[in-house]
Chains A and B, each alone.
Chain A
Amino acid sequence: MRNTILEVRDLRTKYITRFREDIYAVDGVSLKIEEGKSLGVAGESGCGKSTLALSLMGYYFPPLHYTSGDIIVNGRNITALDPDTTRKNVLGKEVAYIPQAAMNALNPTRRIIKFIQDVIKAHIPEMSKQEVRELATERFRILGLPEKVLDQYAVELSGGMKQRTVIAISTILSPKVLIADEPSSALDVTSQKMVIKMLRDLMEKGYIKSMIFITHELPLLYNVTDDIMVMYAGQIVERGSAKDMVFDPKHPYSKGLMGSIIVPEPGTRELELVAIPGTPPNLKNPPKGCRFAPRCKYAEDECLLHEIKMKTFGEGREYRCKFSIDYLTEKYNNGKS
């Protein structure tokens, strides 16, 4: 059996607005990633995907606050640590994070090697500059980045190269978990492919043990990750292996998401794109009961009454809907004919 790298139990985190309102953007998320596996998180904008990524680091700064739940990285519960220890011993070393616009984070007045020296100085102060350079050169070579990048400035690099450099910097300490929040959505398709290749390489060569990949591009998730989890309004609504999720989604929301896939393959032109009507709910006061019910085609009055628990079916698959699998399948098939 593979050992579990990251386990999250019932995590809840909230934003406190300046009007003292609590907004639970991550509301009871549980997940588990084994060594060498990757997990994809999908959902619309405003579903709490990025907040989940921030919360998983275990380091919170206002307006984001921790409420309850456990994050266990490699057997250690990081929510129990005090913030300073988390920053020094967890961030970068165990959990690394690539934010959405990572490539804009590079200071244009410093050479790339400087950023790597900064990272090492904060975590392994005894390492000399020479050793840092050797480590960086070695890592860049293995990941297929030219060595001369180390002595260049960020402005001299193209978007795709900057993004890959940032990934290389953030994984220089070989973290256990890498959280990549839309690492490729600002790039064109060719650079996107290079970024993905690099993430794959990192996994294969064992520099990172597991990865969480957040994006709204479903074809990308299907090609990159082992499992896919769909989030809606701060909760997980469905989870399963990548293949099952793309070809056989069960929850009406996942079904809607998968309906918006456009790929350049024969048959795409005949598809009818069905957008999900409406927008995600305001999490200040989320709908009681099923959160997707106000936008759901199949919703009944009863959906709005009780909160719905995750139900397990098949191998490693879960979904959050009042209706049974058979009922939903029948509905989908009727809709087609």
Chain B
Amino acid sequence: MANHRKSCLSGKGVTKVFGLGLKKTVAVNHVDFDFLEGDFVSIVGESGSGKTTLAKMLLGLLPETEGEIFFQGSLRNIRGRENKKKYWKEIQAIFQDPFSSYNLFQKIDSVLLDCIRMRGGARLPYTNKIEMITEACSFVNLKFEELTNKYPFELSGGQMQRLMIARIFLLKPKILLADEPTSMIDACSRATILDMLMNLRNENGMTIIFITHDIGLAYYISDDVYIMEHGNIVEHGKAEDVILNPKDEYTKRLISDVPKIHEVWDLSTVG
């Protein structure tokens, strides 16, 4: 069924090298990927496997050393301020640490009003803007009346992360890149965040790229899974295939490292 869907973001031989000569580190090594429109894609790997470097390249925050990234079928052009701005209207991110992703001096109202301005709603009447904000907040189970005139640091971690999703709801980008959005909050609020990401995808047809080290989460939520090891993509495919019948040794190890409840957790394999 995937054939008629267009490719949203794809890459060929994308490489990132840090340093020169002897100090050279290849963080991402000639990876190919193809994210289809409306897909929920997970990138899984240990710390140091190059997930975040890849994410930064996708966002255009780091230039790639080699290789090409295609956006909606054509070569991505992010040269210059104007082009970059245009690109960032289509791709947005949620980061790992909600506590450091907000401006401390900016009230929540203005965080959300800025989003409306960026979508070209700067000249809308104020009441309309508030309506839109209230809708976005209720989408993530927050009450705007309780948030207005507050600063982001007055919220809990889970609430901050949900506010981030409310921002995405207002911005309606084509692609959402979520870099470990649930690793700093507890297991109970995790379910809520995942639910909201799913809703975003279902309502707006967004492509979601989900970066995580928790292979269980990736299995639960995603359509496609990419497994990364030392900058290489070692395995990719449908979530069921990759996680239930892993072919690569590394994938097998990652899966065996996660504590399970229906099988005995084998601790003897630790090196």
- A-to-B contact residues, CB < 8 Å: 44-46, 159, 188-194, 196-197, 200, 216-220, 222-224, 246-247, 256-257, 259-266, 268-269, 271, 273-277, 279
Are B257 and A189 touching (Cβ within 8 A)? yes
What's the least CB distance linking A171 to chain B, in Å?
Answer: 18
Residue of B nearest to A268 (CB): B220
Say whether B262 faces chain A, with CB atoms less than 8 Å apart: yes
What's the least CB distance linking B47 to chain A, in Å?
Answer: 5
Residue of A nearest to B243 (CB): A264
- The contact string, 1 if C-beta is below 8 Å from chain A, for chain B 143-187, is 000000000000011100000000000000000000000000111
- The contact string, 1 if C-beta is below 8 Å from chain A, for chain B 183-219, is 0011111111011000000000000000001111111
Which residues of A are found within 8 Å of B46, using beta-carbon distances?
188-190
Are B187 and A217 touching (Cβ within 8 A)? yes
Are A273 and B239 touching (Cβ within 8 A)? no
Are A262 and B216 touching (Cβ within 8 A)? yes
Are A189 and B265 touching (Cβ within 8 A)? no
Which residues of A are found within 8 Å of B217, using beta-carbon distances?
262
Which residues of B are found within 8 Å of A274, using beta-carbon distances?
191
Task: Give the docked Cα–Cα distance between A44 and B192 (Å).
Answer: 13
Are B191 and A189 touching (Cβ within 8 A)? no
Are A220 and B259 touching (Cβ within 8 A)? yes
What's the least CB distance linking A309 to chain B, in Å?
Answer: 25
Interface residues on B, range: 35 or more
Are A193 and B257 touching (Cβ within 8 A)? yes
- The 8 Å CB contact of A263, one of B186, B191, B258, is B258
> Quick one: given A200-B267, A262-B220, A268-B216, are A223 and B188 in contact (CB under 8 Å)?
no
Within 8 A of A (CB), among B223-271: 239-240, 243-244, 253-255, 257-263, 265, 267, 270
Task: Give the docked Cα–Cα distance between A216 and B183 (Å).
Answer: 12
Task: Using A44-B186, A263-B261, A273-B194 as known contacts, list a sample of 11 further A-B pairs with CB atoms less than 8 Å apart, ordered by residue number in A.
Answer: A191-B47, A196-B267, A200-B267, A222-B259, A223-B265, A263-B258, A264-B216, A264-B218, A264-B243, A273-B195, A273-B220
Which residues of A are found within 8 Å of B141, using beta-carbon distances?
277
Which residues of A are found within 8 Å of B263, using beta-carbon distances?
265
Residue of B nearest to A144 (CB): B270
Are B220 and A192 touching (Cβ within 8 A)? no
12 A-B residue contacts at CB 8 Å? A45-B185, A189-B215, A193-B270, A194-B270, A220-B259, A247-B261, A260-B191, A264-B218, A264-B258, A269-B239, A275-B189, A275-B192
Which residues of B are found within 8 Å of A262, using beta-carbon distances?
190, 214, 216-217, 219-220
Highest count of chain B CB atoms <10 Å: which of A44, A224, A274: A44
What's the least CB distance linking A50 to chain B, in Å?
Answer: 12
Are B194 and A219 touching (Cβ within 8 A)? no
What's the least CB distance linking A160 to chain B, in Å?
Answer: 9
> Quick one: given A188-B46, A196-B267, are A264 and B260 in contact (CB under 8 Å)?
yes
Residue of A nearest to B244 (CB): A266
Which residues of A are found within 8 Å of B188, using beta-carbon distances?
44, 216, 256-257, 260, 275-276
Task: Give the docked Cα–Cα distance between A28 and B189 (Å).
Answer: 26
Which residues of A are found within 8 Å of B240, using beta-carbon distances?
269
Which residues of B are found within 8 Å of A46, using beta-carbon distances?
156
What's the least CB distance linking A262 to chain B, in Å?
Answer: 5
Which residues of A are found within 8 Å of B243, using beta-carbon distances?
264
What's the least CB distance linking B44 to chain A, in Å?
Answer: 10
Lowest 8 A-B CB distances belong to which pairs? A273-B191, A275-B191, A219-B259, A216-B186, A189-B257, A223-B265, A275-B192, A223-B259
Task: Give the docked Cα–Cα distance between A269 and B94 (Å).
Answer: 24
What's the least CB distance linking B266 to chain A, in Å?
Answer: 9
Which residues of A are found within 8 Å of B254, using beta-carbon distances?
189-190
